[in-house]
Chains A and B, each alone.
Chain A
Amino acid sequence: MSELETPLLVAEGLTKLYGPRVGCMDVSLEVHEGEVLAVVGESGSGKSTLLSLLSTQLRPTRGAMRYRMRDAAVRDVYELTEAERRFLLRTDWGFVHQDARLGLRMAVSAGGNVGERLMATGWRNYGAIRGEALGWLGRVEIEADRIDDRPEAFSGGMRQRLQIARSMVTRPRLVFMDEPTGGLDVSVQARLLDLLRGLVADYGLAAVVVTHDLAVARLLSHRIMVMRHGRVIETGLTDQVLDDPREPYTQLLVSSVLQG
């Protein structure tokens, strides 16, 4: 198989139990380069637990996950050393949280937030770091004169864009997103989705996007997984699952969307 045919990420039978309660049960998936997978479901469906498992913030009760590293070696992610795992999270992976406070250092300037990821990958030259940070702030439509401001002074939409710049500066191949447009005004959401679509197209980025918003899934993703009670109940091409849903629960979700 060529490299393009080998998935970037493969998860098999991921299960997380909290005592008798199911967080997420027997989830298997693949993500290829340049592919956006949306995970949809309501609160309590297990989609956030799944994202925590995939991004190694949680360890599964059962199951395995393999990732094709930048050197093409396929590694068992849960078997990485803590140093290897942290390096992966700082370089080849990005994470965009719904609450930007979790993804940013609120007391550090915008430029510092972006530059920090570069320093973690060995960049040392101050001018080069600041230049690269400026470039990424521009790419996410944050004015250059805000580079020394702290994210505390930013609007919700700007904070999300800063999180994206911070994630993207190390050119990750895989980004996890947890309700990236949640809580934002509609016009701000549209701008953010437009930005994310552009990044996926321009950088061949792979992404796993957890959202309860089917419109976000339709706009961003190629494939979709519908979760309920911790299990995947339906999966397929995004437009196929949303336009011709098969499962009763998926039909309920699709029919509950307000027509804009």
Chain B
Amino acid sequence: MTVAKDPMMRVDGVAKTFVMHLSGAVLPILRDVSFEVRAGECAVLDGPSGTGKSSILKMIYGNYRADSGRVLVRDGAEWVDVASASPRRVLRLRKAAIGYVSQFLRAIPRVGALDIVAGAARDYGLAAEAATARAGELLASLNIPERLWHLPPATFSGGEQQRVNIARGFAASHPILLLDEPTASLDLANREAVVAFILARKRAGGALLGIFHDEDVRAQVADRVIDVTRFAP
């Protein structure tokens, strides 16, 4: 068990440059990114768009590579450097330690919304029945009408897809959760539902790192703001 205030992730001297071979462009976006996030807190990455906030989340999740530095993530008693871990180790981290709510749902053809969310809970280790129950609760809290639960989200509106995406992210109880503008396309009622999820996860000892453009949401969830412009190359 982790104790509140225990560090859960530690980014240390990370740099990222995009090299676009087709156009010959070299775009340094981040250098010397260093911060940590502790259990029970929600840290917010702040800065204008294009400063690399999403890239930081993606490097922690292993979706983007870090060019240098370490991205340490706690998995139980062990610290794992995502920047140098094997693909299989990163996949295990994603199963047990790190969750990620991306900006957009990448829809899987033919799989219904309820199954997408329940699948995430099963991956985390819930039994099939409990996973489905949990998925139903989450979709209901996010006001996805029950008649949509068995339909693939590909045909849903942008806001509905994003809510399915959020439900999927919260279906597991990962000790670390990365949130990339989860409330961007939501109305007030659903923003409040997401805020409630985040506060509950903090109380449960989760370490959260997110990007929130909505001032009101940010004021409710943030314990600390990390200014990303200070990592500009």
CB distance from A94 to the nearest CB of B (A): 22
Q: How far is the CB of A202 from chain B (nearest CB, A)?
A: 11
For B147, the chain A residues whose CB sits under 8 A away are: none
* Cβ < 8 Å to A, chain B residues 68-97: 87-88, 90-91
Q: A239-B63, A243-B63, A251-B20 are in contact. Are A193 and B90 (CB under 8 A)?
A: no
Nearest neighbor of B59 in chain A, beta-carbon distance: A244
Answer whether A194 and B110 are a contact pair too, CB < 8 Å, given A244-B64, A251-B22: yes
Which residues 117-156 of B have a CB within 8 angstroms of A? none
Asked if B22 and A223 make an inter-chain contact with CB atoms under 8 angstroms apart, the answer reads no
Are B111 and A194 in touch, CB under 8 angstroms? yes
Query: Which residues of the partner chain A approach B19 to less than 8 Å between Cβ atoms?
Result: 246
Q: Total interface residues on B, using CB and 8 Å?
A: 17
Chain B residues whose C-beta falls within 8 Å of the C-beta of A191 in the assembled complex: 110
Assembled-state Cα–Cα distance A236/B63 (Å): 10
Is the Cβ of A248 less than 8 Å from the Cβ of B22? yes
Q: In this assembly, does B62 line the interface, its C-beta being within 8 Å of a C-beta of chain A?
A: yes
Measured between C-beta atoms, what is the minimum distance from B117 to chain A in Å?
15
> Using a Cβ–Cβ cut-off of 8 Å, how many residues does chain A contribute to the interface with B?
22
Does B58 reach chain A (CB closer than 8 Å)? yes
- Residues of chain B within 8 A (CB-CB) of A240 are 62-65, 87
Question: CA separation between A247 and B63, bound complex, in Å?
Answer: 16
Verify if A105 is at the interface (C-beta below 8 Å from B). no
Q: Which residues of A209-260 have CB atoms within 8 Å of chain B's CB atoms? A: 219, 222-223, 236-237, 239-240, 243-244, 246-248, 251-252, 255
- Given A248-B22, A252-B22: A222 touches B63 (CB 8 Å cut-off): no
Query: B residues within 8 A CB of A243?
Result: 58, 63-64
Residues of A within 8 A of B62 (CB): 237, 240
- Tell whether, in the assembled complex, residue A237 and residue B91 are in contact, meaning their CB atoms are under 8 Å apart: yes
Nearest to B123 among chain A residues (CB) is A201
Contact A219 B108 (CB under 8 A): yes
Contacts of A251 in B (CB 8 A): 20-22
Any B CB within 8 A of the CB of A178: no
Q: Which chain A residues border B20 with CB–CB below 8 Å?
A: 251
Residue of A nearest to B18 (CB): A244
Query: Per DSSP, are chain B's interface residues mostly helix, strand or loop, or mixed?
Result: loop
Nearest-CB residue, chain A, relative to B85: A237
Q: Which residues of B contact A236 (CB under 8 A)?
A: 65, 87
Q: Which residue of B lies closest to A197 (CB)?
A: B108
Bound CA–CA A246/B66 (angstroms): 11
Q: Give the shortest distance, in Å, between A206 (CB) and chain B (any CB).
A: 12
- Asked, given contacts A190-B110, A251-B21, A255-B22, whether A237 binds B90 with beta carbons under 8 Å apart, the answer is yes
B109 within 8 A of A: yes
Contacts of A190 in B (CB 8 A): 109-110
Distance (Å) between the CB of A118 and the closest chain B CB?
29
The smallest C-beta distance from A31 to any residue of chain B, in angstroms, reads: 11
* The residue from A197, A222, A244 contacting B91, defined by CB atoms under 8 A apart: A222
A32 within 8 Å of B (CB atoms): yes
| A244 to chain B: closest residue by CB | B64
User: Which residues of A lie under 8 Å from residue B108 when comparing CB positions?
Assistant: 194, 197, 219
Complex CA gap A223/B90 in Å reads: 11
Nearest B residue (CB) for A194: B110
- Does A244 lie within 8 Å of B22, measured CB to CB? no
**Contact (Cβ within 8 A) B87 A223:** yes
Tell me how far the C-beta of B54 lies from the nearest C-beta in chain A, rounded to whole angstroms.
11
- What A residues does B64 contact at CB under 8 A? 240, 243-244
A110 to chain B minimum Cβ distance, whole angstroms, is 23
Find chain B residues with CB under 8 A from A223 CB: 87-88
Residue numbers of A with Cβ under 8 A of B are: 32, 35, 190-191, 193-194, 197, 219, 222-223, 236-237, 239-240, 243-244, 246-248, 251-252, 255
- Ordered by A's residue number, 12 sampled pairs between the chains whose C-beta atoms are within 8 Å are A190-B109, A190-B110, A194-B108, A237-B63, A237-B87, A240-B62, A244-B63, A244-B64, A247-B21, A248-B22, A251-B21, A252-B21
